[in-house]
A and B are shown apart, each in its own frame.
Chain A
Amino acid sequence: MDPDKIYAPSDKIIARDIMGEIVIVPIESGIGDFSDSMFSFNETGTLAWKCIEQKKTIGQICAAIAQEYDSGMDQIEQGVKKLVVELLEKELIVEWTA
């Protein structure tokens, strides 16, 4: 994954910090059962999401997580890559170009 790439929240979602946890609700006409489509993160995911909201690069996201958690960079990069792929698949983020 390109470390200089930037992703941003899709305009088809709404995200809120609910009791310290990010909750994402996809906003689509005709959305049915929200409980099936609501998305929330663990602690690391919350930090990654806040970086995405700030339009940080993949490299900067990994660095931010490395500062907070005692994990190897390889493991962090794998985790971020997995998260980004999942968020793209669910159309919660989009590739961002200035």
Chain B
Amino acid sequence: MSIEVQSDLPFSNTTFSPKFKHFEINSPLEENIVLHHRFETCKTTPKPENRVYLKPPWAVYHQDGQWIYQWIKAEPPHENYFRTVVTDKEHSFLDIYNDNSIKDKFLKGGLTSLTMFPTDQILMGRILAYRNGCIMHSLGVSLDNRGLLFVGHSDAGKSTMAGIMKQGAAILCDDRNIVRKKDDNYFVSGTWSHGDVPDVSPEIVPLKGIFFLEKSNTNQVIPVTDKRHAFERLLACMIRPLETHDWWGNALDFLSGLCRQVPCWNLQFDQTGQAYNLLKGM
């Protein structure tokens, strides 16, 4: 899947942050998402009865086969300000309407998100939910062309494990990774929303294992046989953007299939770095 960014205003070499260079390609892929930045007022008016989500700063409407995302004020009556996004049913074409203050920001350049929202993960999480995918709060690596995903709570050791895996694996991303199902196989790729490791790899690799991190004084992998438990732990790490009814349906189906198909292990590891050899030998 590729993301093509279009704009009413001209792009320059510095419109986007250099971190996107890792992911830049020359032409769109067959499966392509278009984000079009428009610098005008959105003419589509959402009807209150079509609202399916309200939690400032977001309100979501589903009407006439379109999704409308509004960036709203915190206080009732939650007026829209600055931004509205209108998409088709499949989230293939996103028109992002920006007001004049955003125009200045665009022209200034150095943008750290493609959508020009504080983070891309909200809209990306929605887009992926309609394409058999999700974003995981995780460390993703490519080891001998095998995708490995390491998950755990914020202090579980993702950064430590990234340091260990750097011995011979490419880091896809140490904070947010995309997992997708295509042709009955699961794949993992990194994102530009990295943590401490800015030098990420743009590879898309088959996902061969999910590891629940556990700091220890030993190094071993223990298969997780309770798939239901694995499901709950993965759900806790899944980025959950604007949780509408249909989003939950897609997310639960996706995660359920992921747990069934991709082997999950508890990974106990210490500081010696031997976990790398353990995983390399699997």
Contact = CB atoms under 8 A, between A and B. Distances in A.
Interface in A20-79: 21, 23, 25, 27, 29-31, 34-35
Contacts of B249: 14, 16
Contact of B54 (A16, A18, A27, A29): A29
A19 B54 contact: no
Contacts of B55: 29-30
Given A19-B259, A30-B55, A35-B236, A25 B248 contact: yes
A46 to B, nearest CB: 12
Contacts of B236: 35
Contacts of B54: 29-30
B256 A16 contact: yes
B160 interface: no
Q: Is the interface of A mostly helix, strand, loop or mixed?
A: mixed
Nearest to B227: A19
Q: Which of A29, A30, A35 has the most CB of B within 10 A?
A: A29
A78 B127 CA distance: 46
Nearest to B56: A30
Contact of A25 (B53, B227, B252, B256): B252
A10 to B, nearest CB: 11
Contacts of A35: 232, 236
A14 B246 CA distance: 9
A92 B150 CA distance: 34
B243 A23 contact: no
B93 interface: no
Contact of A19 (B53, B235, B245, B256): B256
B16 interface: no
Contact of A29 (B53, B252, B253, B256): B53
Contact of A31 (B227, B243, B253, B259): B243
Interface of A: 11, 14, 16, 18-19, 21, 23, 25, 27, 29-31, 34-35
11 contacts: A11-B245, A14-B248, A16-B253, A19-B227, A19-B228, A19-B259, A23-B252, A25-B248, A25-B252, A29-B54, A31-B243
Given A19-B256, A31-B243, A34-B235, 11 more contacts: A14-B252, A16-B256, A18-B228, A19-B231, A21-B228, A25-B248, A25-B252, A27-B244, A27-B245, A30-B54, A30-B55
